[in-house]
Amino acid sequence: MCKQYQLKLYVTGDTPRSQRAIANLYRICDQELPGQYQITVIDVTKSPQLAEAEHILVTPTLIKEFPNPVQRIVGDLSDTETVLWGLNIGISFKQD
């Protein structure tokens, strides 16, 4: 049985930065975790109580809730290697 990644992405409104983070997250998950992820996008302007409960101070913030350990990644998720590292997905790094 494969892992089902549970991810929450906190964004602020429909800004270019928010759109970029959402697009980057779906691109990475489609490439690296096809059929193995569930993404919940939370707009902190519409659900500030959820952001407060999760202690979200900046957006975009990605929280990987499952599998453990819980991880947080801040930013627009444009650095694929950082996102993969944060999700604990094995990647091979280039060596010079």
Bridge partner list, 50: none
Q: Say what the pLDDT of residue 96 is.
A: 46
Of the chain, the end-to-end C-alpha distance in Å amounts to: 36
- Rounded CA gap, 73 and 65, in Å? 12
- Torsion angle of alpha carbons 23, 29, 32, 35, nearest 10°? -140
Residue 3 has pLDDT above 60, yes or no: yes
Q: pLDDT digit string (tens) for 7-63?
A: 999 999 999 999 999 999 999 999 999 999 999 999 999 999 999 999 999 999 999
Q: Say what the pLDDT of residue 89 is.
A: 78
How would residue 92 be classed by pLDDT, with cut points 50, 70 and 90?
A: very low
Q: Taking the domain 5-87, which CATH number applies?
A: 3.40.30.10
HEC assignment per residue over 9-27: EEECCCCHHHHHHHHHHHH
